[in-house]
Structure 1
């Protein structure tokens, strides 16, 4: 049986989030401890567990058809690799940080200064825009220690919460780019596997839409229904069902998490009562 091959990070948070979205897509993976390759038992898919930095080359060579990878890695090592879906998890930023006690006015302060990073291409391209040329020290691993041991004047690295910078007495001074997990595709994917990718992407879109949405039910007097419907965003039209109590109806719809509380407040102000909020597992449009 033909299988589409997907690369995911071997370990870490991105690995966990990648496997979670595949599970939410209904894909069961027969994965044993320390396996570097595993298959799905209910979808024609094979998972390869790889080092994050190696994945762009595997995509380029057609060894894997698709990958869940940080967008920051593609910017550094795989700008020729296509992105078919942004996944909304494992969000971070690639930033410049300097010692807390160091005075910093602008990026010009780093001209000729030593910057430790595992993202040399990203640094060069960013600094070109400001006509600044840093002295790049390529480090694979924990770059945060470099200023403390006198190896560099600043660092460029991924930042999530900023706690690692804080622990190493560093402060973030420039955000070069923002990143999240993406679904990337090999330029050499076959027509057969493109069809499998389309099926997988359909499932992923349903999962992502559900993660961003909530299903709500509310009761309202019939003379308030028209105003309430005007407030409701999202789906084509809410469902309105009569209640046993005369003059009242139940209204069902989907709203997005980002505007959830604002919409709820407005609904209450316009006569909605007994609001019930339910998480959505999948949302197929």
Structure 2
């Protein structure tokens, strides 16, 4: 009896990327049977298994070929690759595509009272971090001698309790730094979620599954960044109206029943559609201007 080949994807079980990753998979049409304590979740309508693990385990699972794909933050991916390279382990992978969630930055932060005058003022200081490899690489590139203190959690309290002079940690809004009397002084790495793939070629059946899944992922991401715009426009102002439309898509022009002076204009906008643009369209005589989210896109 031949066992059906199933594509295996490693994702974060809980944490910063977990909810967005699950939402992406569901919007791609994957029907997941997820139980909180189960490591492996089976997709009911496609030959795909989802391995739910700690974020730090995902790069290694893909690099070692245990999983075919992984969704992980660039910060975790790069830190893991540097660490595995240092230890002589396989650190090769392919970045399939960047995803449009999980954006953050790895930054150096100092107590508010610290007199920061440039990176040279960090010379010889001690930093608490969960990312020693990324920090070490940055320090070396900038000819800085730094001491590192490895902490897996509560990095922000390190200066206050005298463990370190400053910290190197992930920053999204900066609110946590401010709450702990810290100020951001340097960004050393920017990150977002990425879909990564093992370097070994997939078998034909797994590649076929991936060829179906990838356009769905790309369609969901494109839809998230796009809006569908509909409006009624004066027929003699179509050129000016088209020029105001964001993005590179050509508008669709449709006749309106019983109206010779107005036409319907439909367009997909892949750029931000501002209130000022709507006001400019209204000033040209446009009305019934609707800006709507898009759930899925293809092509």
TM-score, length-scaled by structure 2 = 0.90
Name the CA distance, whole Å, in 2 between partners of 1:121 and 1:164: 23
Which 4+ stretches in 1 moved above 6 angstroms? none
Q: Name which of 218, 226, 245 aligns with 1:205.
A: 218
- 1:166 paired residue number: 178
Indicate if the aligned counterparts of 2:229 and 2:289 stay in contact, CA closer than 8 A: yes
Name the CA distance, whole Å, in 2 between partners of 1:51 and 1:112: 33
Moved more, 173-182 or 188-197: 188-197
Unaligned stretches of 5+ residues in structure 1? none
1:37 maps onto 2:40 in alignment: yes
| Cα shift at 1:249 | 0.9
Unaligned stretches of 5+ residues in structure 2? 83-91
Correspondence list, 1:1-285, <5 A: 1-78=4-81, 80-192=92-204, 193-234=206-247, 236-243=249-256, 244-285=258-299
Instruction: Give CA-to-partner distance per residue, 1:137-185, whole Å, 9 cap, x none.
Output: 1222221111111111111010111122122211111111211111111
Instruction: Give CA-to-partner distance per residue, 1:225-268, whole Å, 9 cap, x none.
Output: 23222333446432211112222111111112424445434433
Name the CA distance, whole Å, in 2 between partners of 1:2 and 1:112: 53
Change in Cα spacing, 1:230 to 1:169, as seen in structure 2 (3 Å) is: closer
Name the CA distance, whole Å, in 1 between partners of 2:187 and 2:248: 36
Name the CA distance, whole Å, in 2 between partners of 1:6 and 1:157: 27
Moved more, 240-249 or 215-224: 240-249
Instruction: Give CA-to-partner distance per residue, 1:9-31, whole Å, 9 cap, x none.
Output: 12023111100000111111011
Change in Cα spacing, 1:178 to 1:102, as seen in structure 2 (3 Å) is: same
Moved more, 152-161 or 187-196: 187-196
Moved more, 229-238 or 127-136: 229-238
Indicate if the aligned counterparts of 1:111 and 1:133 stay in contact, CA closer than 8 A: yes
| Cα shift at 1:218 | 0.6
- The number of aligned residues is 285
Name the CA distance, whole Å, in 2 between partners of 1:153 and 1:202: 47
Instruction: Give CA-to-partner distance per residue, 1:50-88, whole Å, 9 cap, x none.
Output: 111111111111001111100111121126322111111
Instruction: Give CA-to-partner distance per residue, 1:173-225, whole Å, 9 cap, x none.
Output: 11112111111111124133233222211101111111111111111121112
TM-score, length-scaled by structure 1 = 0.94
Name the CA distance, whole Å, in 2 between partners of 1:257 and 1:237: 14
Indicate if the aligned counterparts of 2:95 and 2:197 stay in contact, CA closer than 8 A: yes
What RMSD, in angstroms, separates the aligned Cα atoms of the two structures?
1.7
